[in-house]
C-alpha cells in the first residue's frame, strides 16, 4: 500500500516516477510498454522512463509483466487507484 513516505521518497529521486504514478492513479486499468509510456504518457526519454519504472516496481507500486516480446507495466492490484 502506498504511503505518504513512499510518495515523498519517489519525489526526492524522480519527478518522472511521480508523473508515471499520477497517470496510473488517473487511469488505474492502463497498461503499456516503456516506449508507450515514454511517448504517450510522459513525453520523456525511454531510458529515463525505464529507470523510473524499475524504481516503482521495486517499491511494489507498479507491476511488470511479459507480454509477447515486450514488458508491460500496470498498477499493482493491491495499490490504491
* Collapsed DSSP state (helix, strand, coil) of residue 71: strand
pLDDT of residue 79 exceeding 50: no
Report pLDDT digits (tens) over 18-67: 999 999 999 999 999 999 999 999 999 999 999 999 999 998 899 999 87
Please tell us whether the domain made up of 4-75 is placed in CATH 1.10.10.10: yes
Domain range annotation of the chain = 4-75
Residues 63/21, Cβ–Cβ less than 8 Å:
no
Query: How far from 32 is each of 3, 14, 28, 50, 67, CA to CA, in Å?
Result: 24, 19, 12, 12, 10
Amino acid at each position: 500500500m502506498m504511503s505518504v513516505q513512499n510518495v515523498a521518497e519517489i519525489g526526492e529521486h524522480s519527478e518522472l516516477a511521480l508523473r508515471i504514478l499520477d497517470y496510473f492513479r488517473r487511469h488505474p486499468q492502463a497498461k503499456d510498454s516503456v516506449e508507450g509510456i515514454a511517448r504517450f504518457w510522459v513525453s520523456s526519454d525511454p531510458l529515463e522512463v525505464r529507470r523510473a519504472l524499475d524504481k516503482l516496481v521495486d517499491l511494489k507500486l507498479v507491476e511488470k509483466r511479459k507480454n509477447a516480446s515486450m514488458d508491460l507495466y500496470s498498477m499493482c492490484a493491491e495499490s490504491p487507484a
